[in-house]
Structure 1
Amino acid sequence: MCDIAGVLNNGRLVELVLARDIIGLRPLFFAHTGAGFAFASERRALEAMGYPHPIELDPRTLLRYNITEDRVRFTKRDFFSVVPEITDAKAEIKAKLLTLLRASISELIPRRSGEKFAVLFSGGLDSTLIAYLCKEIMTVRDFECYTVAVEEPGMKEAEDLSYAKRIAEDLGLSLKIRKLNIEEVESYLREVIPVIDDTGGVKISVAVPLYAACEMAKEAGIKTVLYGLGAEDLFAGYEQYKRVKKEDLNRACLSGLSRMHERDLYRDYMIAKAHGISLLAPFLATDLVEYAMRIPAIHKLCDDRNKAKAVATDKLILREIARDLGLEEAASRKKRAVQYGANVVKAIEKLAKRKGYRYTRDYLRTFYKSRDIKLGCLFSSGKDSAYALWLMQNASYQVECLINIKSRNPESFMFHTPAVELVTLQAAAMGLPLITKETEGEKEKELEDLRAAFRDAKAIHGIEGVISGVLWSKYQKERIERIAGEENLKVFSPLWHINQETELRLVVSLFEVIFTGIAAYGLDRSWLGRRITVADVDRLVELSQKKVKINIAGEGGEFESLVLDGPPSLFKKKQKLVIVESEIVEEDANTARLLVKKADLISRE
């Protein structure tokens, strides 16, 4: 589901075009550095090729790589829409949805005679619908249902297991069960965490039963497994959607769907691939998604959100379809995430406590030694440090704090100076502690202030390494590495030797960035204080190719940047920075600064 096309000129390949399926069912990573351009379906493949920090291509972005010019360009692709809202009667909507789901399942199940497949089965609404329709579609019973749950003395029977057994018996489904004890859960953690390249507690607790189920399929010689991923975002099944205004519900669901490739799909793909399994999600068929996103909110969430807690108030239209099919127990069951329904979270908490860990996150990191390191991020408030921080967090590194050096010397070769006072607000929006040191900005002496900041971060937050956003400046990189090395800190520079134009294009697509200082021919005050766009990057490229060249990444001091907002995974507090009052001070036509007099954080919602 990744498309790769080539453009020929006189029989010679001159351009590569890369695109994923629009939801992101299959991953695609790329790297563009001084060493060249490369892409692969797995992050680790590029790492093995000498590209230590590959970038995941957003499913809603088309990448064009011009081989002759060694340039990458990105084009935004249209995603699904929530308009026009469907105005059909509810009975017609139910009939259409059921038709689409049947068609999706029919398309996904194996066609070869005698080839078995499996359904991941929790006894919940989504998996029961899939299993029921599979049985209805198949003329003979040639599929199995798999349930995985933790069973340990002192624990109640897993809710998923109880429901799965009862409903499978009622429907005459072939149910295979794998019960895990707590020691087996720990054994799975050793296998799962390196496979999914992640140490996040939620992802891991979902991954363990999925891994065990795929293992069951492999042992049975089954190659195709169906599961219910997607229904929660299509029909407002997650708890977060209950806090959204009815008129905004479908847009919120669309936003959730747009993040599924980061939240769920890469994890699931890697687990399935490790077992040679094709893991398929019937709810994510394109035409079904297209239709479901336009179903009125009234058919997804109950208007009376204050109903008794025992009553399921989400995914209403799916629940009605299930009832129409006679699946009353599954239709009435409240949403229960697999990590809780299968008792996996309880097992991990017990294991962490048994090993002497206060927090499960610290216990889980011990299974991924290369990520089991506490980091501080050398943070300037600008684009490069923000992007470096985001890349490292996305790669499952644990960032404990931001480290900011506030230089009184606007000509400092080491440290960014405009608007650094706003780092406090950025740190608050990210939910990260901040270590700040002031320096006079005198050459070399400012390194001792950097050393003091590193020592504070070690003493207060226990950091063992630092993240740097340096791109090509040997001057900065060597000095940071020298001071860090003397303080026994590792240095991670995920942007080192990245193609500068590509980096800037990625930054403006991910972050809301403004310029706070300019000092280069071709730039003027009109560049300050407004969001930098792809069109601006194109203009900078033109300027970089003229006689009086500028560094397109701004590493020569051509401009300074400020990040106002970015991905929710980084700006965790759902807040963004806004400039309330500012003034532009000009030295000449091509040199100016934005003086921020007042700034604040506002809610994104």
Structure 2
Amino acid sequence: NFAFASEKQAMEKEGLECRELHPRQILRYDTETGEKKFEHREFFEIDVDQEKNIEQASEEIKEKFTNAVEKRVPEGDLGLLFSGGLDSTLIAATLQKLGKDFTAYTAGIQHGNVNKPRDMDWASEIAEEMDIELEAYESSLEEVEEALPMLVDWISSTSVVKNGVALPFHMALKNSRDSQQVIMSGLGSEQLYAGYHRQQGYLNKECLSGLRSLFENDLYRDNVVSFRNGREIRLPFLDHDLIRHALTIPEEYKVKDDYRKYVLRKTAEKLGVPEKVAWRGKTAAQYGSNFDKAIDRLSRDRGFEHKQQYLNSLRKSEIINSGNSEKVSSLKKSERQKKEEGLSLKKKPNNRIVALTSGGKDSNAAIYRIERRNNEISCLLTLRSENKDSYMFDSKKEDSVIEKKASKLDLSLIIQKTEGKKEKELEDLRRGLETAKERFNAEGVVAGALASTYQRDRIDKVAEQVGLKVFTPLWQEDQSRYMQWLIREGFEVEITSVAARGLEKRWEGTVLDEQNIDEFLDLADEYRFNAAGEGGEYETVIRDFPESMV
């Protein structure tokens, strides 16, 4: 049997076990034999032109972006999601230069003693200055409470960020004119021009990694919300010519003089974007619209400790109680019918995930975070390398240590052996991930990568070959705050070895706690070593987990 749908929740409602097809895979299904074959699609590559000066790069962006907008202009009416920020205003200015009429839309919420949403005020100011027709919709807390279960269902996710962004998007679209079937959005510029503060170090690698995860993080959500509102979303920043060009731009043009997306800001001025917009800082949609505060208010009003817990409660699936775990579709049944048939509600995970683990603090912290975000850890995978100096895999801990941790977490453990030879060990990682996918139906992989681009990029590539999504919930976390968070959440982290100036042998065998963590972090600051041990300054093992993990 074989079924497919454009939206995950369509299959879930029929009680079907489904897997999301990776955006860079093609599935060929033989209707006669039932044979399935996956083909890998090539992706963009970095090809930096160091001879290019910033003025040349800016002019090229201007030309390519204008073409990208023009080719996406429909024959009929056009709408634009508009916050008055750099990206949406750049599209607006380009449309004006092309002589195309459009209506801009924005949405926000004001409730209780919360200030008026900044994005709505700013969008109105810029629209008036640029003579843009703007329709602003102010939502109510009751509307948000009504919309959230629907959005969680639509996008098959309880992510606070995804739903926080989906709310202003949905509210703007549902109040747009029926004649405007096509809506443009500024999604994609952060990934092309290093707009996020978490993008540090090798910026073009960060940009490429952001593009690889764009479907999982943003595109699926925006497409589904658009379609459910009867609209088609078009994204000029994701034009292939523009993407290829962005990956030729030297990194120093993307972040310069404390400005992110520097070269794009230069381009914006050339296309007529007001200076105060071109050089304005970024505010995420969920914050500028106040919808994140609305979710927080509803969470507290409903007695939840935090927003994630509240959103997790909105995603339920129905199962049969009588020892039969077969999922059923009974959405139209009355509560009485459900009770008579022994149906009850069970939390439905966003994703089934294999967790890469070394037994140390980072891999376990990543598991903790990803589980709190309503994902199910289907199994653990550890790579046991013969090369104890491998840059990819930490194999210093005994197998028995990791096996005990897996047992305590009540998770199956896959042990994949590898010789630890550079690049060849990635083949062994691929084998381990394929085992997790086949035996435990994993849809994604979570890694405890904190700052190692070398490690993160290789996991990205291998996971893509297998058809798994990648989650790195610790990526570019402030290391001192991260260490304090570990202790606060209840992890018992023991330092097993030290190899950094400033860390004396007395720290070996020490379990970090509220009494000694400040001293430890002060040493990291004084001797300038990585507080989380990212440079191999020390090794750790987890002695115990937060209660909610076990």
Task: Tell me the TM-score range normalised by the shorter chain.
Answer: 0.5 to 0.7
Please say if 1:44 is aligned against 2:9. yes
2:116 match: secondary structure: coil
Change (3 A) 1:232 1:380: closer
Q: Secondary structure at the match of 1:253?
A: helix
Measured at CA, do residues 174 and 39 of structure 1 come closer, stay the same or move farther in structure 2, by a change above 3 Å? Answer: same
Q: Report the AA paired with residue 422 of structure 1.
A: I
Cα 1:394–1:74 change in 2 (3 A) is farther
TM-score by length of 1: 0.58
Cα displacement string for residues 301-360 of structure 1 (whole angstroms, at most 9, x for unaligned residues): 02x54xxxxxxx101011112223252121121011000111111111111112221111
Tell me, yes or no, if the aligned pair for 2:9 and 2:155 is still in contact at 8 Å. no
Alpha-carbon distance in structure 2 between the residues aligned to 1:378 and 1:299: 37
Which residue is 1:229 aligned to?
187
Aligned to 2:67: 103
Residue equivalent to 2:261: 315
Separation in structure 2 between the aligned mates of residue 167 and residue 314 of structure 1, nearest angstrom: 21
Question: Partner of 1:255 in structure 2?
Answer: 209
1:271 aligns with 2:271: no
Alignment gaps of 5+ in structure 1: 1-35, 306-312, 405-417, 428-433, 437-452, 454-466, 470-511, 517-527, 541-551, 556-562, 576-600
Residue 314 of structure 2 is matched in structure 1 by: 367
Q: Which of 58, 71, 87 is the aligned partner of 1:126?
A: 87
The equivalent residue for 2:416 is 514
Q: Is the 8 A contact 2:30 2:36 kept in 1?
A: yes
Match among 331, 336, 342 for residue 278 of structure 2: 331
Matched to 1:301, the amino acid is V
Alpha-carbon distance in structure 1 between the residues aligned to 2:235 and 2:408: 45
Structure 1 counterpart of 2:238, one-letter code: L
Contact map agreement 1:149 1:160 (CA 8 A) in 2:
yes
Q: Which one-letter code corresponds to 1:129 in the other structure? A: L
Deviations for 1:527-579, whole angstroms, at most 9, x for unmatched residues?
A: x98843779999x9xxxxxxxxxxx9789xxxxxxx9977785554469xxxx
Q: Pick closer, same or farther for the CA change 1:328–1:146 going to 2, 3 Å.
A: same
Equivalences for residues 462-477 of structure 1 within 5 A: none
Q: State whether structure 2 residue 135 is matched by structure 1 residue 176.
A: yes
Note the C-alpha offset of 1:46.
Answer: 3.6
Cross-structure match for 1:532? 428
**Would you say 1:156 and 2:130 are equivalent positions?**
no
Contact kept, 8 Å, 1:272 with 1:278, in 2: the verdict is yes
Give the paired residue count. Answer: 401
SS in 1 for 2:255: coil
Q: What is the CA–CA distance in structure 2 between the aligned matches of 1:285 and 1:43, rounded to whole Å? A: 26
The match for 2:165 among 196, 206, 215 is: 206
Change (3 A) 1:250 1:181: same
1:16-39 Cα distance to aligned partner (Å, 9 max, x none): xxxxxxxxxxxxxxxxxxxx3443
Instruction: Answer whether contact 1:514 1:530 (CA < 8 A) is retained.
Output: no
Q: Distance in 1 between matches of 2:87 and 2:311?
A: 29
1:386-401 matches, cutoff 5 A = 397-399=374-376
Whole-angstrom distance in 1 between the partners of 2:93 and 2:380 = 55
Contact conserved, 1:197 with 1:395, CA < 8 A, in 2?
no
**Larger C-alpha radius of gyration, 1 or 2?**
1
Query: What letter is aligned with 1:435?
Result: K
- The one-letter code sitting in structure 1 at the alignment partner of 2:165 is V
* Distance in 2, Cα, partners of 1:250 & 1:83: 9
Q: Distance in 2 between matches of 1:359 and 1:301?
A: 34
Query: For residues 207 and 128 of structure 1, do their structure 2 counterparts lie closer, same or farther at Cα, with a shift above 3 Å needed?
Result: same
| 8 Å Cα contact 2:109/2:138 also seen in 1 | yes
1:294 equivalent among 248, 272, 295: 248
Q: Distance in 2 between matches of 1:345 and 1:259?
A: 23
Cα deviation, residue 279, structure 1: 0.7
Q: 1:267 to 1:68 in 2, by over 3 A?
A: same
Counterparts of 1:165 and 1:380, CA distance in 2: 46
CA distance in 2, matches of 1:171, 1:229: 21
The answer to whether the 8 A contact 1:373-1:398 is kept is: no
| Closer, same or farther: CA 79–358 of 1 in aligned 2, 3 Å | same
Q: Is the 8 A contact 2:195 2:260 kept in 1?
A: yes
Corresponding position: 1:435 with 2:408: yes
Amino acid at match of 1:178: Y
Is residue 353–residue 375 contact of structure 2 (8 Å, CA) maintained in 1? no
Structure 2 runs not aligned, ≥5 long: 318-344, 358-362, 382-397, 419-423, 441-446, 449-458, 477-531, 537-550
User: What CA distance in whole angstroms lies between the structure 2 residues aligned with 1:293 and 1:378?
Assistant: 30
Please say if 1:116 is aligned against 2:77: yes
Whole-Å Cα distance in 2 between the matches of residues 96 and 378 of structure 1? 41
Per the alignment, do residues 197 and 179 of structure 1 end up closer, same or farther by CA in structure 2, a change over 3 Å counting? same
Quickly say closer, same or farther: Cα 1:513–1:234, change in 2 above 3 A.
farther
* 2:175 alignment partner, SS class: helix
Aligned to 1:144: 103
**C-alpha deviation, 1:280, in angstroms:** 1.0
Distance in 1 between residues matched to 2:429 and 2:354, nearest whole Å? 22
Distance 1:530 1:161, change over 3 A: closer
CA separation of 1:535 and 1:209: change in aligned 2, threshold 3 A? closer
Task: Please state which structure has a larger fraction of its residues in strand.
Answer: 1
Mark the CA change 1:125 to 1:158 in structure 2 (over 3 Å): closer, same or farther: same
Aligned to 1:281: 235
Which residue identity lines up with residue 76 of structure 1 in the other structure? H
In structure 2, the CA distance between the partners of 1:62 and 1:85, relative to structure 1 (3 Å rule), is: farther
Kindly provide the CA deviation profile for residues 267-310 of structure 1, in whole angstroms up to 9, marking residues without a partner as x.
111111111110111100111111112111111102x54xxxxx
Task: Give the Å deviation of 1:63.
Answer: 3.2
Q: Structure 1 residue 355 and structure 2 residue 312: aligned?
A: no
Quote the Cα distance in structure 2 between the aligned partners of 1:45 and 1:194.
9
Which of the pair has the greater relative contact order for Cα pairs under 8 Å at 6+ separation?
2
In the alignment, the residues of structure 1 paired with residue 193 and residue 210 of structure 2 have an alpha-carbon distance, to the nearest angstrom, of 11
Output aligned runs, 1:357-506, within 5 Å. 357-370=304-317, 373=347, 397-399=374-376, 419=399, 421-423=401-403, 435=408
Give the counterpart of 1:341 among 288, 292, 295: 288
Over the aligned positions, Cα root-mean-square deviation in angstroms equals 4.3
Provide the secondary structure at the position in 1 that maps to 2:36: strand
Deviations 1:196-235 (A, max 9, x none): 1111111000000111111122x43310000000000100
